[in-house]
Chain A
């Protein structure tokens, strides 16, 4: 039911773990639905310098998390924001139809992490101006 690429990323997931001093953290999904992805990014010079993930979910959830970390490393934030869930699935040679909805959230997690980073940065900038 899964492509070889999905099974490869599921069996040997890339970039599993946490970044303790992450610049941005994105968490999407819901344990009630059976899939939760947490993505950590480190930003340097407007680019994603490092990325790690932790995922609770099925084979597709783990494989898409792993794939998105590979796709995004070294990309600018603007480039990273254009990566879609669909693109992640395509990079894995597709997902079974029933997985496209519930387990294909990795790009959402990435975007959430970037938004978190931007919000923190803007917050700090504002705080800086205030004093």
Chain B
């Protein structure tokens, strides 16, 4: 049975050419970039080149890039780093109720240390309203963090507008761009953000490596202390192979971006259209247009998400869900609830996220098997269809 991977928002397969680019730095070019000898210089050169490349792609300067262990570390460093550095200026942080847990739980951790956090609501499409950001700002506000695009429903937020509000009020603005970098154009100047998180394994790079952009002049307390790497902003010997892989993966992603957006969004539209045509009592989550190219998010009434996933998996299809059972808690997705969906509907969510290797044949196969799965589960459900 062919396996069909439709969970690219969770992680992507690393491109073979990225692995090839990394291999020398896992073998002969193993030097520590901080060493003065030829081995070290070789690693330093690779590190500098990777930094230049990533910085240029997102419109930043090389010294505005801090390499991290991934998106979670970048989010944690940005939020805690700013909060702790600006504690004397104020104790208020603004974020949204649909952020990734790397942001939400960092904010919750800060609440325990006496910070006040406003979790802004979103509309039915998952959009944060810039005017809500404006009215939430107080004299105490030191940081705003709103994600560039949501990982569950794919909604792309009005970051440039929110950044204008933040700048006008003199508040630092961070965006978690883990879902957008490498997928859609991301430029820190166009967006007007002060900090931005990205993660390599979301754009066909290696796991365990990411970066935080910090605009020149923005002071954040370091998260890791030690050997003074990353100009003292993130101690620890740099993950040279990972960073080399990340830079190359991003370079490839940007080179192929236009073509990829066209292809993947075509598949997405066919998938969404097919599902809504073939299955009734289904909702499409997220914004109809302001949406990541690869994201298709649904809620099927009368059935539960994990049951759908298990059935899809038996057919070789890998997806994800925001049901309580798959989130590891008793609550379904905080994102779907924030968008106003009732609990029982949110439990029936299915997220299929497409990527560069998917094909129209695979989409057709999904459209062949999914209606049967939903109908089988509905025939077992005490809700909805029992009377029909």
Instruction: Report which A residues bind B (CB closer than 8 A).
Output: 2, 7, 10-11, 13, 16, 18, 27, 31-38, 54-62, 98-99, 101-103
Residues of B within 8 A of A103 (CB): 325
Q: Are A31 and B325 in contact (CB under 8 A)?
A: no
Assess A55 versus B325: contact at CB under 8 Å? Given A11-B314, A61-B304, A62-B307.
no
Contact of A55 among B330, B342, B347, B380 (CB under 8 A): B380
Residues of B within 8 A of A35 (CB): 304
A11 to B314, CA, bound (A): 9
Residues of B within 8 A of A99 (CB): 325
Residues of B within 8 A of A37 (CB): 382
Q: Are B380 and A31 in contact (CB under 8 A)?
A: no
A38 to B386, CA, bound (A): 12
Q: Are A54 and B380 in contact (CB under 8 A)?
A: yes
A62 to B304, CA, bound (A): 10
Interface 1/0s, chain B 306-325, versus A by CB < 8 A? 11001000100000000111
Q: Are A31 and B347 in contact (CB under 8 A)?
A: yes
Contact of B330 among A2, A56, A102 (CB under 8 A): A102
- Add 20 more A-B contacts to A36-B382, A58-B325 (CB < 8 A): A2-B310, A10-B310, A16-B380, A31-B343, A31-B347, A34-B324, A54-B380, A54-B382, A55-B380, A55-B382, A56-B303, A56-B383, A58-B307, A58-B323, A59-B325, A61-B304, A62-B307, A98-B328, A99-B325, A102-B325
Min CB gap B232→A, angstroms: 42
Residues of B within 8 A of A101 (CB): 330
Residues of B within 8 A of A13 (CB): 380
Asked if B379 CB lies within 8 Å of chain A CBs, one says yes
Contact of A54 among B310, B342, B344, B386 (CB under 8 A): B386
Instruction: Report which B residues bind A (CB closer than 8 A).
Output: 302-307, 310, 314, 323-325, 328, 330, 332, 342-344, 347, 379-383, 386
Q: Are A38 and B307 in contact (CB under 8 A)?
A: no
Q: Are A34 and B382 in contact (CB under 8 A)?
A: no
Q: Which of B324, B347, B382 has the most CB of A within 10 A?
A: B382
A92 to B310, CA, bound (A): 17
The 5 closest A-B pairs by CB, nearest first: A31-B344, A58-B325, A58-B306, A54-B382, A38-B382
Contact of B344 among A16, A18, A32, A58 (CB under 8 A): A32
Tell me the nearest residue of chain A to B345, going by C-beta: A31
A2 to B314, CA, bound (A): 13
Min CB gap B382→A, angstroms: 4
Contact of B307 among A16, A18, A31, A57 (CB under 8 A): A57
Q: Are A34 and B380 in contact (CB under 8 A)?
A: no
Tell me the nearest residue of chain B to A2, going by C-beta: B310
A31 to B379, CA, bound (A): 16
A99 to B342, CA, bound (A): 22
Q: Are B324 and A59 in contact (CB under 8 A)?
A: no
Residues of A within 8 A of B304 (CB): 34-35, 56-58, 61
Min CB gap B255→A, angstroms: 39
Contact of A18 among B310, B324, B347, B386 (CB under 8 A): B386
Residues of B within 8 A of A31 (CB): 343-344, 347, 383
Tell me the nearest residue of chain A to B328, going by C-beta: A98
Tell me the nearest residue of chain A to B347, going by C-beta: A34
Q: List 26 A-B contacts (CB under 8 A).
A: A11-B314, A27-B382, A31-B344, A31-B347, A32-B342, A32-B344, A34-B304, A34-B323, A34-B324, A34-B332, A36-B383, A38-B382, A54-B381, A55-B380, A55-B381, A55-B382, A56-B381, A56-B382, A56-B383, A57-B307, A58-B304, A58-B305, A58-B325, A59-B325, A98-B328, A101-B330
